[in-house]
Amino acid sequence: MTTAPNDAALAEAVYSRTLVEWANRALATDTTDGTARAALEACRHIAAAVTDEQGRLQSLLDTTRISAELRPASNGADQINALEAVVGSFDEARRFGDAAETAGYRRWEPWTGAARESFRRMSQVLTVAKPGDVTTVLNIRWTSASKLQQLPAVFRPNDADWRAVDLPSALWPLYFVTRPLRLVAERLRLRNRVEEGQLGPFLSTPASLLDALFEFAEIGPTDHVIDIGCGDGRLVIEAARRRGCRSTGIDSDPELVATARERVADAMLASQVTILEGDGETTDLNSATVVLLFLPADVTARMVPKLLSQLAPGVRIVAHEQHRISCPVSPDQTEVLLGADSVTVAHRWSVDATS
């Protein structure tokens, strides 16, 4: 990993949610440190945006008469656009989630039928997100816990089990049997392993980071950029518009795919940008010269080694996250990217450098 000591310390500050403290220490030594000043400015913008969104959501709570303790995320409120709400029960969490959807938020958990009933009993947080130039995440937690959550992990169903089997609502207890059977079948290779970490929900790459990210990825007019988990397509559209490249977005959510295709048409970039509905882990990526990943850190860590073994020499794989990506293959380059209202840590792997 080719990072200077200062860059490594800066990246660690992002991971540990201590960016403001890092910047203040840097400025105490050198009052002209441009990176530290940019970091403080970004954090100020993030904190202000979170405060504004908290006010909007509080008004929504007051209007709908839902009782909730609403606050910025407990860790990193000046680095991430995230809030959390604490309510008494799952039903109250669901009501707040429904109300938030009227304010532009999208629910992450897609469960219906028995999966929804099992989720209600086995989980304690409902997550919704508001896409935009910067995505705002809202975690709604409920305090009433089920005794079923005290079961050993081998018997506690989770999203991998809910994805593996679709059951009618009344049969939700069967997930307690499904989980150990699934684990045994996968251990014996009687069925393909269902990954615990899937591609995850769509979070948009902040608009203020795009130019820096494209420069870091060294995207040019001759490139074919593929964005896995493209969401509403804003990144692939901007890559084509700003860098003159061909780009393809892949997403498994039909609603997001439809939105992305509409955005491509509105931008009049249909000759440069293609949106595909499908699984980014199984789609043919052989034509790519750059693969972009803005996914949960554990998913990225799992995908990068596979991509490095599958793609042609010269392909660049670029990922960014505020969470540490514990990938078994170290990136060739890591850089902290600071936008006017956002921050991330970008990593780049080159197939020819690691194969």
Report the 10 Å Cβ neighbour count for 314. 10
Contacts of 153 (CB under 8 A, 6+ apart): none
pTM, whole model, 2 decimals? 0.86
Which pLDDT does position 350 carry in this prediction?
95
Class of domain 207-354: alpha beta
pLDDT band at residue 190 under the 50/70/90 scheme: low
pLDDT digits (tens, 9 = 90+) for 282-328: 788 999 999 999 988 888 999 999 999 999 999 999 999 999 999 99
In the chain, domain spans: 32-142, 207-354
Which pLDDT does position 69 carry in this prediction?
96
Task: Note whether 286 and 311 are within 8 A (CB).
Answer: yes
Name which residue leads in pLDDT, 194 or 320.
320
Task: Note whether 193 and 185 are within 8 A (CB).
Answer: no
Angle between the N-to-C axes of helices 5-15 and 19-29, in degrees from 0 to 180, rounded to the nearest 10: 150
Task: Note whether 159 and 202 are within 8 A (CB).
Answer: no
CATH number of this structure's domain 32-142: 3.30.460.10
Which pLDDT does position 201 carry in this prediction?
62
Phi and psi at residue 149, to the nearest 5°: -70, -10
pLDDT digits (tens, 9 = 90+) for 225-257: 999 999 999 999 999 999 999 999 999 889 999
Contacts of 313 (CB under 8 A, 6+ apart): 351, 352, 355
Q: Tell me how many helices (H) and strands (E) the chain has.
A: 12, 12
